[in-house]
Structure formats: structure tokens, C-alpha cells
């Protein structure tokens, strides 16, 4: 009798807790490409290419390490296209007596797993995913009894726990957070480093052809695919980022450029979230190899560490603490359908068009592009939460529901009503102009507030505040804009609301609350 370990596409780590339960001589590993996972949202073709290639390369690694590994390709004739029925066949064929899985990253999948013991008539062991720096239960214990959960408090605790950037139990440099120093517009002088590129091998090229056949109409492009799909190449990407980009990451992390989608961002998130890199090793490699010579260096390394041990861990904790009810959140009663230009990029707003077309090309945007361009617009237009959630989950190669949903509902569109953020991240065109060069090449004028030439962000911002006055006016962090709204001329406000209604009606095909 043998044990069988199901390995998911975001669990590509030889140190995974479920793999550690196996005897290489008698037990089995199975990995599979199934339509139940490719189709629950319309995943970006490039995202699928990366994941399937990384999975197949990891399967090769498992075999080289002596594991008895089974791999079911998408087009395998006996592929039942879902986990449960494929597992049933293998359990019978291999005389399996125990199924082992590591905690998945999505509630829907874990809920499915809870039924496998009954349906497959076999013991199912779900092991803790200890790649994270805090377990689900530890976060639950941390959250218990707290009136509010603030990422900054959590981050301080994690810094102390792991002794990252700490000296004598105090933060290096005297402050915990240097985010206020990291809001510079790009200076157009600092050299932007080139990303490492890895020409696709035969495994990747075969998968590209498979995806073209099976999913010909999927969003996104697979052209010029040069992503790291192995651990060895992922480690090279980590080293390259530390050596070439981290020194400028902090200063320019909020900057956006019309002609460069990445700037100094690490582009490691999909490698970490898939398991090719471990978050703890990423932090420790950065801390060991990046020399802090000045305040800007400290700003950068602190910002990078905060994203991983603070934000990433906090987001994951919130997801598992609040699901499944969290998915149904709609605090601002938003019901507009997602505009078609989120899929095509055909939009007169240059910033929106550019970010979406880059998303089509790369399955990536950095966090400010997601938050302050596509997220901000969805917030201001009142897009139905599940529609924008499914878009974000589909189009980015680092998106899994545990990390995407709280970012979307909590930060992007304030659907959770303040569980994650203390205010909605709403902004007019002025912020975008301040942090980017998008406005220079736009058909709209960022300096114009209303009318056909006005930047839609300008009137949508005030219309958003007006529409949600009953829900948001008592938020002390919005007191200044609401005072300005109160003083606004009635005629101007009427024009703002008319322009906003016209814009929303022209781009949203339906109001979902009316169906």
C-alpha cells in the first residue's frame, strides 16, 4: 500500500510539507493540468503557459530527485479534466491507501478537498503550507480579540519575530517604515536595468502550441515569452534584482512610465507565489547580499521586506480569516458591469489603455498600476466586485485568490468596507499625472475638470464621493475632500454628475442590480 501526494501548480517546492511525508521508494506524486482549473476564470494565456511550463519542469526535477512522479498533461486521453476523477483512477491503479495534499491557496479548492475522503473512500491528509512565515492558525490567534487589524502593527510584529532589519530589538535606522520616502516620480536619468530573459525550451514551446489549440480566444499574448520556469532560473532572477534594481526600488516603486511597464520592480511575485522561490529565502538573500550604504538604500530594502513579510503575509491571513463570506462583500453597493475595454485596452484614457495592453503582453502590472489605474477606475465607476475580482484573478500570472481577492476587495475597490484599508484609494487625474507621464500622450486633458476634454478620473472622483456620501463622509481620512465637496458650486457638481453618468453609461453595458 502506498501514499499519493497531489501537487498543485503553485506548490513547486521540493521542501513542501506534503512531499516531506513521502517515502520515495514506495509512495507517489501526481501533478495534473485540468480544465476545472483553467476555466473557473478565463486565465491569461501567458499565465497558463508559465504555470504549465513550470509544472512540467518541476515534474522533471522530481524524477531526477528519485520521486515516483506521475504527470497528466492537458491533452492526455484519459484526463478526466478535474482533480477528483483523475485521483480516483490513480488511487485504484496504484493501490493507494492515503492521499496527501498541502493546503491550497483558494477556499473553493480546499472546500472541494474536504469532500474527497467521502467521495474517494480514502483518508485525506491536508498538511500545513509552511512556506508562509505565519500559519493560518497563528494569524487567527493574532487577530483574536483585536478591534481592528492594521498591517503596520502586524508588520512590526513580524520584523521582531524574524529579526529582519532590527538592531537591539529596535528598527534599523530608527523607523519601522520609510514609505513616505518612496513616492518619487521617475527622474528620466536613472538607468532602468534590463530583465533577464530565458529563451523557451522545447517543453515551453510544446505547451504554447497546446494552449493555442485548446484556448484560441483567451485574453493575452504568449509572444516573446522569456520567463524563468525553473528554480535555477528563478534564483538567477532574484540575484539579478538585488544586484541591478533594489537600490532604486524604494524611491521609484510608485512611479509609472508610458513606455516601461516594470521600472525597478522585482518581477519575482509569480516565482514566489508558484513556489519556485521561497519568501523567507528571498528576504534573507536580500538582507545578506544588498549593502545598505545610505538612507535611500535603507528605504529600498525596508520597502521590499515589508511587501513580503508584512503585506503578503497579512493579506493571506485576512483571506483565510474572512472567507467564504469575504467573497460576497459589497460595502459600497457597486453593481456596474465591467467595461469591455478591460479586456481589449481600447480606451481613450492613455493610462488605462497602456496598463491593460501591457497586461495583455506580459500578464503583469506593478502594484501602483493595479491599484491607482485599473483599481481606482473600477472603484470610481462602481464596478460589481466579483466582476473586477475575476478580471484580476484571470489576467495576472502572480494572481491566486488568497492574495488577489483581499487586494482587490480591500485595497482596490473598498468592497470590504474597511477591513483592510482605512479609506478607499480613490484619486483624480492629478495623482496619476504626479506619478507618471501618461497624461502627456492622452486625448483628455488632466487639467480640465468637466466636459468632453476633461480627464474622466477628475469628474468620476467627485461623483464617487457624492454617490457614497452616506457611507463615507464620516471617515476622518476623507474629511478634507468632503469639505471641498460641500463648498462646491451646485452647477459644477451637476456637470460632474452628468459627465460621470454619461461616461459610466457609455462603457458599462448593464447595472447588475437591475437583473
Determine, yes or no, domain membership for 70. yes
Return left, alpha or beta for 365; rule: phi > 0 is left, psi -120 to 50 is alpha, else beta.
Answer: beta
Whether residue 503 is predicted with pLDDT greater than 60 in this model: the reply is yes
Q: At what angle do helices 279-289 and 231-244 cross, to 10 degrees?
A: 40
- 3-state secondary structure at position 274: helix
Provide the pLDDT confidence category of residue 513 given band limits of 50, 70 and 90.
low
Q: Work out the average pLDDT over 446-458.
A: 98
Report the pLDDT value the prediction gives residue 192, as an integer from 0 to 100.
97
Determine, yes or no, domain membership for 307. yes
Q: Are residues 156 and 23 in the same domain?
A: no
Report the pLDDT value the prediction gives residue 40, as an integer from 0 to 100.
96
d(CA 181, CA 188): 18
d(CA 490, CA 488): 6
CATH number where 375 lies = 1.10.579.10
The dihedrals phi and psi of 264, each to the nearest 5 degrees, come to -110, 15
Range in 157-166, 178-187, 242-251, 402-411 the model is least confident about: 178-187
Q: The C-alpha cell of 43 is what?
A: 486565465
Q: Are residues 170 and 72 in the same domain?
A: no
Q: Are residues 307 and 408 in the same domain?
A: no
pTM score over 0.85: yes
d(CA 367, CA 350): 18
* Cβ atoms < 10 Å from Cβ of 202: 7
Whether residue 511 is predicted with pLDDT greater than 80 in this model: the reply is no
Whether residue 514 is predicted with pLDDT greater than 60 in this model: the reply is no
Nearest Cα to Cα of residue 45 among 7, 78, 74: 74
Q: Are residues 310 and 381 in the same domain?
A: no
- Domain boundary at 110, 127, 144, which? 127
Q: The C-alpha cell of 438 is what?
A: 501618461
Report the pLDDT value the prediction gives residue 456, as an integer from 0 to 100.
98
Determine, yes or no, domain membership for 347. yes
Burial class (CB in 10 A: 0-12, 13-18, 19+), 174: exposed
Report the pLDDT value the prediction gives residue 510, as an integer from 0 to 100.
74
Residues 224-277 have pLDDT tens digits of 999 999 999 999 999 999 999 999 999 999 999 999 999 999 999 999 999 999
Burial 51-78 (b: 16+ CB within 10 A, else e): bbbbbbbbbeebeeeebbbbbbbbeeee
Q: The C-alpha cell of 187 is what?
A: 527622474
Residues 148-169 have pLDDT tens digits of 899 999 999 999 999 999 999 9
CATH number where 29 lies = 3.40.50.620
d(CA 274, CA 134): 18
In 142-249 the beta strands, taken as DSSP E runs, fall at 166-167, 170-171
Q: The C-alpha cell of 253 is what?
A: 516603486
**Which is it for the CA torsion 493, 499, 500, 502, positive or negative?**
positive
Determine, yes or no, domain membership for 235. no
d(CA 354, CA 47): 19
Q: The C-alpha cell of 263 is what?
A: 521600472
The residue range of the domain holding 311 is 136-193+245-322
Q: Torsion over CA of 194, 264, 240 and 163, rounded to 10 degrees?
A: 180
Find out whether the peptide bond into 324 is cis, omega within 30 degrees of 0: yes
Report the pLDDT value the prediction gives residue 315, as an integer from 0 to 100.
98
Q: Are residues 348 and 308 in the same domain?
A: no
Report the pLDDT value the prediction gives residue 249, as an integer from 0 to 100.
96
- 3-state secondary structure at position 257: strand
What element of type H or E holds 463?
helix 456-467
Report the pLDDT value the prediction gives residue 512, as an integer from 0 to 100.
62
Bridge partners of 69, per DSSP, are 29
- Domain boundary at 83, 104, 127, which? 127
Q: Are residues 185 and 251 in the same domain?
A: yes
Report the pLDDT value the prediction gives residue 1, as an integer from 0 to 100.
81
d(CA 466, CA 496): 10
d(CA 319, CA 136): 10
Whether residue 370 is predicted with pLDDT greater than 60 in this model: the reply is yes
Determine, yes or no, domain membership for 62. yes
Provide the pLDDT confidence category of residue 471 given band limits of 50, 70 and 90.
very high
Burial class (CB in 10 A: 0-12, 13-18, 19+), 207: buried
Task: With beta carbons less than 8 A apart as the criterion, state whether 276 and 228 touch.
Answer: yes
d(CA 353, CA 336): 20
Whether residue 204 is predicted with pLDDT greater than 80 in this model: the reply is yes
Determine, yes or no, domain membership for 203. no
Q: Are residues 101 and 249 in the same domain?
A: no
Q: Are residues 311 and 173 in the same domain?
A: yes
Bridge partners of 29, per DSSP, are 5, 69
Determine, yes or no, domain membership for 216. no
Give how many domains the chain has, as a whole number: 3
Report the pLDDT value the prediction gives residue 210, as an integer from 0 to 100.
98
Q: The C-alpha cell of 21 is what?
A: 511525508
Q: Are residues 309 and 370 in the same domain?
A: no
Determine, yes or no, domain membership for 310. yes
Place of cell 521617475: 186
Q: Are residues 280 and 389 in the same domain?
A: no
> How many percent of the chain have pLDDT more than 70?
99
CATH number where 272 lies = 1.25.40.80
When the pLDDT of each residue in the chain is averaged and rounded to a whole number, the result is: 97
Q: Are residues 15 and 117 in the same domain?
A: yes
Q: Are residues 143 and 123 in the same domain?
A: no
Whether residue 25 is predicted with pLDDT greater than 60 in this model: the reply is yes
Report the pLDDT value the prediction gives residue 104, as an integer from 0 to 100.
98
Residues 413-430 have pLDDT tens digits of 999 999 999 999 999 999
Whole-Å CA distances, 385 to 332, 337, 511 = 10, 9, 12
Residues 120-139 have pLDDT tens digits of 999 999 999 999 999 999 99
Alpha helix segments (H runs only) across 146-198: 151-162
Amino acid at each position: 500500500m502506498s501514499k499519493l501526494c497531489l501537487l498543485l501548480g503553485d506548490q513547486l517546492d521540493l521542501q513542501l510539507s506534503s512531499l516531506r511525508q513521502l517515502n520515495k521508494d514506495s509512495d507517489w506524486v501526481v501533478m495534473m493540468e485540468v480544465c476545472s482549473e483553467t476555466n473557473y476564470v478565463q486565465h491569461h494565456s501567458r499565465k497558463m503557459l508559465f504555470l504549465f511550463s513550470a509544472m512540467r519542469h518541476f515534474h522533471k526535477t522530481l524524477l531526477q530527485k528519485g520521486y515516483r512522479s506521475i504527470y497528466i498533461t492537458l491533452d492526455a486521453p484519459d484526463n478526466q479534466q478535474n482533480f477528483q476523477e483523475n485521483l480516483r483512477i490513480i488511487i485504484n491503479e496504484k493501490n493507494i491507501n492515503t492521499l496527501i495534499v498541502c493546503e491550497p491557496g483558494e477556499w473553493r479548492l480546499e472546500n472541494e478537498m474536504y469532500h474527497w475522503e467521502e467521495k474517494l473512500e480514502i483518508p485525506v491528509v491536508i498538511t500545513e503550507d509552511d512556506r508562509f512565515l505565519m500559519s493560518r492558525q497563528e494569524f487567527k490567534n493574532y487577530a483574536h480579540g483585536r478591534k481592528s487589524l492594521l498591517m503596520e502593527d502586524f508588520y512590526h510584529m513580524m520584523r521582531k519575530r524574524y529579526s529582519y532589519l532590527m538592531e537591539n530589538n529596535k528598527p534599523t535606522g530608527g523607523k519601522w517604515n520609510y514609505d513616505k520616502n518612496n513616492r518619487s516620480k521617475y527622474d528620466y536619468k536613472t538607468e532602468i536595468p534590463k530583465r533577464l530573459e530565458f529563451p523557451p525550451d522545447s517543453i515551453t514551446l510544446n505547451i504554447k502550441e497546446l494552449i493555442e489549440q485548446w484556448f484560441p480566444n483567451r485574453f493575452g499574448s504568449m509572444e516573446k515569452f522569456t520567463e524563468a520556469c525553473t528554480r535555477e532560473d528563478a534564483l538567477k532572477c532574484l540575484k539579478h534584482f538585488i544586484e541591478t534594481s533594489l537600490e532604486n526600488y524604494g524611491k521609484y516603486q510608485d512611479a509609472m512610465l508610458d513606455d516601461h511597464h516594470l521600472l525597478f520592480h522585482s518581477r519575482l511575485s509569480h516565482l514566489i507565489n508558484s513556489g519556485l522561490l521561497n519568501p523567507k529565502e528571498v528576504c534573507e538573500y536580500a538582507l545578506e547580499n544588498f549593502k545598505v550604504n545610505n538612507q535611500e538604500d535603507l528605504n529600498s530594502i525596508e520597502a521590499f521586506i515589508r511587501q513580503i513579510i508584512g503585506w503578503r503575509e497579512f493579506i493571506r491571513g485576512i483571506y483565510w480569516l474572512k472567507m467564504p463570506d469575504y467573497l460576497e462583500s459589497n460595502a459600497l453597493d457597486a453593481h456596474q458591469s465591467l467595461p469591455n475595454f478591460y479586456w481589449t485596452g481600447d480606451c481613450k484614457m492613455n493610462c488605462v489603455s497602456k496598463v491593460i495592453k501591457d497586461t495583455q503582453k506580459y500578464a503583469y502590472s506593478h502594484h501602483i498600476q493595479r491599484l491607482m489605474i485599473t483599481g481606482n477606475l473600477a472603484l470610481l465607476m462602481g464596478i460589481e466586485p466579483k466582476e473586477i475580482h475575476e478580471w484580476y484573478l484571470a489576467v495576472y500570472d502572480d494572481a491566486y485568490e488568497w492574495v488577489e481577492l483581499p487586494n482587490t476587495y480591500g485595497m482596490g475597490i473598498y468592497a470590504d468596507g474597511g477591513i483592510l484599508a482605512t479609506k478607499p484609494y480613490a484619486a483624480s487625474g492629478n495623482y496619476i499625472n504626479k506619478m507618471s507621464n501618461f497624461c502627456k500622450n492622452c486625448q483628455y486633458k488632466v487639467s480640465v475638470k468637466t466636459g468632453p476634454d476633461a480627464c474622466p478620473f477628475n469628474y468620476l472622483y467627485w461623483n464617487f464621493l457624492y454617490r457614497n456620501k452616506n457611507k463615507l463622509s464620516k471617515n476622518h481620512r476623507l474629511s478634507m475632500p468632503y469639505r471641498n465637496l460641500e463648498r462646491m458650486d451646485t452647477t459644477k457638481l451637476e456637470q460632474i454628475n452628468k459627465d460621470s453618468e454619461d461616461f459610466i453609461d457609455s462603457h458599462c453595458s448593464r447595472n447588475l442590480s437591475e437583473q
